Amino acid sequence: MKSNVSGLGSGGKLGVLLAIPDFPMLRAGFRSIIDGEPDMRVVGDVNGAALVDELDRTGADVVIAECQPRGADDRASFPAIETIKAVRPATRLIAIDCRTTGDQFSQVLKAGADGFLSREAGPDDVISAVRSVSRGQTYVSPAVVTRMVNAFVLHSDDATTEDAYASLTEREREVLLLAAVGHTNREIAGKLGLPEGRVHHYRATVMEKLGLHDRVELLKYAIRRGVLGVADV
């Protein structure tokens, strides 16, 4: 069974697969929240080892997975993220903070996650996360954004990239905003009415001017610079 790229599973509802084996109460809470919404439902509940098989069986649109402690390679990860992205690139992934490392947010987004929920997340945060990632956007819990603001605004003495923002054209700023919240070049091209190759050029120029290297750095920069707020992420 193939995951529905449109973001609507069986019966017109988003199918959500839970991979939270170590926290049964948390898993029960997620199930109750998701099944209480008219446009989404939990389609499975699985441990890491059987995750890919369950994806085949359910065709889930979104996976919510707990983060795992640092392994032997000293990298934070969560169940089968590389495998999921390899076999089902359209499947959206939301990671749950397990508080094993302060840099976990950056690690999991670089690994391929589309969203990140803190343990302080409430029902509205969970629903917003599922809907956001199903639309191709990146979702980060407001509590995590607050920590990022504290780390990258209040305690930052580096003004180099702040000044570089003034060198961006209006079009480059539009591309920056859309890329920072997780839109692909193709999606940005559609929204702005531009050829995809032109968007690629704008995006590369933005990254070069600001001295950034990946999507996570771009998101952090946009929040630090104040061009994105908590409500935009």
What does 31-75 look like in DSSP terms, one character per residue?
A: HHHHHTSTTEEEEEE--GGGHHHHHHHH--SEEEEE-B---TTS-
Average pLDDT over residues 210-226: 83
Mean pLDDT for 24-50 is 88
The whole-number average pLDDT for the span 185-213 is: 91
CB atoms within 10 A of CB 11: 7
Q: Per residue in 59-118, pLDDT tens? A: 899 999 887 654 434 343 555 577 777 778 888 999 887 654 455 677 777 778 888 888
Q: Which CATH superfamily is domain 10-140 in?
A: Response regulator (3.40.50.2300)
For residue 1, pLDDT beyond 60:
no
- CATH architecture classification, 157-232: Orthogonal Bundle (1.10)
Q: Where are the domains of the chain?
A: 10-140, 157-232
CA distances from 112 to 42, 89, 198 (A): 22, 10, 25
**pLDDT score recorded for residue 203:** 92
For the ranges 1-10, 21-30, 220-229, the maximum mean pLDDT occurs at: 21-30
